Structure 1
Amino acid sequence: MAFLKKIRPSLLRPNNRSWRTALLALVLLAPGGLAASTVTDVLNNAQLRGDATFRFLGLPLYDAKLYTPQGAPFSWNQDFGLLLTYRKNLKQKALVESTLEEMDRQGNGAPVQSQLEQCFQAVSKGDTYLAVSQGPDKVGFWRNGTKTCTLSYPGIKRAFMSIFLGDNTRSASFTRQLKGQ
């Protein structure tokens, strides 16, 4: 050890630049980040299909990523996962009410408000929500990698996911990018 101190003292003390470089390499090498591991844990053979940023009046609200089995083209007949990473702080009430409003706007049946309140909590910048379909009548939800609930409701997969992936979304270009088209 004394020998190393004489010839290479920099090997024994941390170098901020080295630590930053190592951390950056770790982040870049992690496929899809830490949230992707939850998707692959829940959805068999999940691979990223597409991603997009949703904006309201030009301000980015969240980044979305669509995961399908083996990255296959989007299909309502297959299970899939949708990961949202929020860029703004939003209250639980805003998340629940906007979800119900969008489901209603699209003419889709919706669960009752109390069910959504169990699933959705307030989000801060950087928080994630993952929704994974489990057949046509179930959608599981994870907030920052922790399961919050499973909604079981006739047609909930299409009713909820149409907000992002349907034919009548708030932004056709967002939906096309998310679907990888």
Structure 2
Amino acid sequence: MAFLKKIRPSMWPPNKSTLRAALLSIALLSSGGAVASPLSNELSDPKLLGSSTFRFLGLPVYDAKLFTPAGAAFNWTEDFGLQLTYRKNLAQKALVESTLDEMARQGNPAPTKAQLEACFQAVSKGDSYLAISEGPNKVGFWRNGAQTCTLTNTGIKKSFMSIFLGDNTRSASFTRQLKGQ
């Protein structure tokens, strides 16, 4: 530490206002910081239930986290939040078409392509999408904390969320981990 005093006297010792500013910055940037997230605004006492990484041909595509009220077991009748944090860049077209394809593969009714294009933008590595259900017929979407859209269709929660949490997902182990099983 004596070395720091000699080469950077302006940085040693840190004053109280510098420490307060640093701590405030850390608090605001952390996921549990003082700034309310869409998750805490939309769900009652959201807690992480499970997490998993989705892989395609062995390569990680996104990390997923499932939040339920008070960390309760997954239940389709309760509202929940699903966050995807992307590990690679994906074009809007890829996100929209893969969503429509998966919903069709599972035999679920889907919103229109135009509705999904309003919700989903291209993602870069590190970008996150958060989907939060509000009853069976409404799902809100946030990209990096900013709301992009709300889909309101009959049964949209189960139709959309089944891609990740249904009985016929692309990866049963991914789904089990996400559900905390």
Q: Same fold (TM over 0.5)?
A: yes
Q: CA deviation at 1:44?
A: 1.5
Gaps of 5+ in 2: 14-18
What is aligned with 1:86? Answer: 86
2:130 is the counterpart of 1:164: no
Q: Determine the C-alpha separation between the residues in 2 that align with 1:96 and 1:37.
A: 25
Gaps of 5+ in 1: 1-7
- Identity, in percent, stands at 67
Q: Determine the C-alpha separation between the residues in 2 that align with 1:94 and 1:68.
A: 28
Q: CA RMSD in A?
A: 2.6
TM-score normalised per structure 2: 0.84
What is aligned with 1:13? Answer: 11
Query: 3-state DSSP class of the match of 1:67?
Result: strand
Please say if residues 35 and 145 of structure 1, whose CA atoms lie closer than 8 Å, have aligned partners that are also in contact: no
2:105 is the counterpart of 1:108: no
Stretches of 4+ aligned residues off by more than 3 angstroms: 8-12, 29-36
Given the superposition, is the C-alpha separation of residues 34 and 83 from structure 1 closer, same or farther in structure 2, using an over 3 Å criterion?
Answer: farther
What is aligned with 1:54? Answer: 54
TM-score normalised per structure 1: 0.84
Q: CA deviation at 1:94?
A: 0.3
Q: How many residues align?
A: 167
Query: 3-state DSSP class of the match of 1:174?
Result: helix
The 5 Å alignment of 1:17-96 reads 26=26, 30-31=30-31, 37-96=37-96
Q: Determine the C-alpha separation between the residues in 1 that align with 2:63 and 2:33.
A: 13
Q: CA deviation at 1:55?
A: 0.2
Q: CA deviation at 1:37?
A: 2.7
Q: Determine the C-alpha separation between the residues in 1 that align with 2:48 and 2:74.
A: 11
Query: 3-state DSSP class of the match of 2:151?
Result: strand
Q: Determine the C-alpha separation between the residues in 1 that align with 2:88 and 2:36.
A: 21
